[in-house]
Amino acid sequence: MDAGRADLTVRSIATSPEPITWTRQWYAADGRLQLGAATSSQGYILRFPGIGDFVISERPGMISYRRDPTAAAASFRHALLDQVIPRALAQSGRLVLHASAVCGPTGALCLAGSPRQGKSTLAAALHHAGLASCADDAVLVDLAPEGPVCWPAYPGVRVCTDSAAYFARTGPPVVVPTQSCEKLRLLYDAPVRTAVPEPIPLCGILILDRREPSNANTLVAIRLTDLSASQVAACVMTHMFKLDIKDRLTLSGMLAQVAALANALPVLRLEYPSGYEHLPVVCEHIRSFLASCN
């Protein structure tokens, strides 16, 4: 990122363009439409019901929006920062992981995984254990000449209400509501305050595999497992933000970045037990792994 040049421009528009083709929809567990994606004459449309429409121009770097007048500020903020901007950057050729990130003295660590694998809860636990939260939901990664780096975003994580209550016992974080009653945002101080964000060396990526014990007397082991090259490619591609999955040129560029990333740092699967009571031990395993990365 060049301090004198904006990578993205965001502007308000009075009306949204008409969709030409709806390409994909995402639904909540209760059947509500959360997000719809479409093409239009002006670019790609991302429609968040009750929040607004965002138009990502085919010309790189331009996002236009029409905000629903009833949308809460926190809902609009989440949609823009955690959903729209990552997809716009991905379509322009940048590598953006759907992950959380924490950082320590040796660098940063990404926590990726499918929904409900505990990415944000584990990131919050690591923050309370001494590794600063530096990004949540989306992590921008660059393949710099000296090695992979990630860019810090706003510090804090979005967690379910039970996780927010758990962390409030160890120190009262600032909690603000987000776009749904299921999630609250824990706000933390930034690890480093600078006028222009500085990239952080990326030490590794953990693919989370949270497991329930088969019975009350069985404890799930905490295990870090190396992945094969094909497994790394499949996992990282699965957890990357994408906008137009039919754009072969963009997908080809993504595959090249994944291959370079896999050759530059460890990507491992972390099996760990479900349950807040296990978080301290899981955090110690992760802290030890990060400390070993040089």
Q: Are residues 112 and 227 in the same domain?
A: yes
What percent of the chain is predicted at pLDDT more than 70?
A: 89
Residues facing residue 269 across a β-bridge: 207, 225
Q: Are residues 134 and 230 in the same domain?
A: yes
The pLDDT, as a whole number, for residue 293 is: 82
Structural domain includes residue 2? no
CA distance 120 to 117: 9
Strands 62-67 and 95-97, by their bridges, are unpaired
Which residue, 163, 175, 273, is CA-closest to 218? 273
Q: Are residues 24 and 150 in the same domain?
A: no
Q: In angstroms, what is the C-alpha Rg of the chain?
A: 19
Q: Would the pLDDT of 191 be above 70? A: no
What's the pLDDT band for 192 if we cut at 50, 70, 90?
low
Q: Under DSSP, is residue 87 helix (H, G, I), strand (E, B) or coil?
A: helix
Structural domain includes residue 131? yes
DSSP-derived letter for residue 80 is: I
| Token duo for residue 284 | 């110690």
Number of domains in the chain: 2
CA distance 139 to 86: 8
Q: Would the pLDDT of 234 be above 70? A: yes
Q: Are residues 55 and 104 in the same domain?
A: no
The pLDDT, as a whole number, for residue 180 is: 53
Strands 174-177 and 156-160, by their bridges, are unpaired
- Whether 44 and 59 have beta carbons less than 8 Å apart is answered as no
Range of the domain at 59: 9-71
The pLDDT, as a whole number, for residue 215 is: 64
Q: 79: part of which helix (H) or strand (E)?
A: helix 73-79
Q: How far is CA 223 from the centre of its chain?
A: 23
CA distance 91 to 74: 25
Report pLDDT digits (tens) over 31-51.
Answer: 889 899 999 999 999 999 999
Among 25-34, 80-89, 117-126, 253-262, the least confident range: 25-34
Structural domain includes residue 205? yes
Report pLDDT digits (tens) over 64-88.
Answer: 999 999 998 888 988 999 999 999 9
Going 206 to 290 to 109 to 266, the CA torsion angle's sign is negative
Q: How many helices (H) and strands (E) does the chain have?
A: 7, 18
Spatial strand order in the sheet of 183-187: 156-160, 183-187, 174-177
Q: Under DSSP, is residue 139 helix (H, G, I), strand (E, B) or coil?
A: strand
The residue type found at 79 is A
Q: Are residues 158 and 276 in the same domain?
A: yes
The pLDDT, as a whole number, for residue 282 is: 95
